[in-house]
Amino acid sequence: MKNVIVVSAHPDDETYAVGGTIAKLTSNGVNIELVIYTKAFPPEWDEKEIEIRKNEALAAAKVLGISEVHFLGYLTTKLDITPLRDLINDLDSILKTRKADTLFLPFAGDMHQDHRRLFEVGVSVAKPTPDQALKRVFTYETLSSTEFGSPFFEKPFIPNYYVNIRDYLDDKIKAVSCYKLELREYPHPRSIEGVKIKAKARGMEVGLEVAEAFKILRWVVD
C-alpha cells in the first residue's frame, strides 16, 4: 500500500472503525487521506458546534498521521436524498488525482443510511476497469452502526481480514478522545471501554490481543 483513501460519512467514523489500522500504516510510511462526506447543519446544530466537530476531526487526523482531510460538506443524514452522481464524481476525482491503490468504505449493512449510501458510492467508483488503479477495497465496521444493523438487514458483517493493532491501540484511543462531542459513557459502544472491548473481541477471533476487522471486497495481486 502506498496511497490509501478512507471514506467516512461523518467525522469520527474513521477513527472508531479504522483508527488503529490507519496509525499502523502511516507509521510505516503509507500515505493516507481521509474523505469526510458530511457535516452538521443549522438549525439542528449551531455554528459553534459545527466548527468544533471539524476541529475535532483535524485533531484526530493529526494523531493518526493522516496527511490530508477532504471535507466535502454534504448534509449529514441526507446522503440518501443527494444525487448519486454528485457523490460519485467527488470520490472519483480524489481517487484519480491521488492515484489511490487502496480504499476503505463503510459496510453495506450498517444501520445508518449515510453509511449504506457511501458503500454504494464506493463500489460504483471502484469498478474494476482496465484503467482502475485500485488494487484493494475493504469495508469496515463502525461502532454503534454496523452491529446495530445486523438484526435488520440481510447483510451481516463477516470479516475476512484482520489487522493486529497491539502497538497502535493507544493511538486509536488518543484519536477517539479528540471527538469529545461523540464520546459516550460505557456501556455505549462509542465509549473508550467500548473501543477496547471491541478490539479485544476481534483479536480473540484470530489469536491476537487486539485487532481491527475488515471485509475484503477486492485484492489484486500483480
pLDDT tens per residue across span 168-222: 999 999 999 999 999 999 999 999 999 999 999 999 999 999 999 999 999 999 8
218 closest CA partner among 90, 128, 129, 150: 128
pTM: 0.96
Strand pairing partners for 106?
A: 140
The predicted structure's pLDDT at residue 8: 98
- Euclidean distance between CA atoms 152 and 190, whole angstroms: 20
Run of H or E including 136: strand 136-140
> Which sign does the torsion angle of CA 98, 216, 159, 147 carry?
positive
The answer to whether 136 and 214 are in contact (CB under 8 A) is: no
CATH number of 3-219: 3.40.50.10320
CA distance 160 to 218: 12
pLDDT in tens, 136-153: 999 999 998 988 876 777
Per-residue model confidence (pLDDT) at position 54: 96
Which set of grid coordinates corresponds to residue 22? 490507519
What residue spans define the domains of the chain? Answer: 3-219
Element (H, E) at 105: strand 102-106
What gap in Å lies between CA 95 and CA 102, rounded to an integer? 9
pLDDT tens per residue across span 78-131: 999 999 999 999 999 999 999 999 999 999 999 999 999 999 999 999 999 888
Per-residue pLDDT, 154? 66
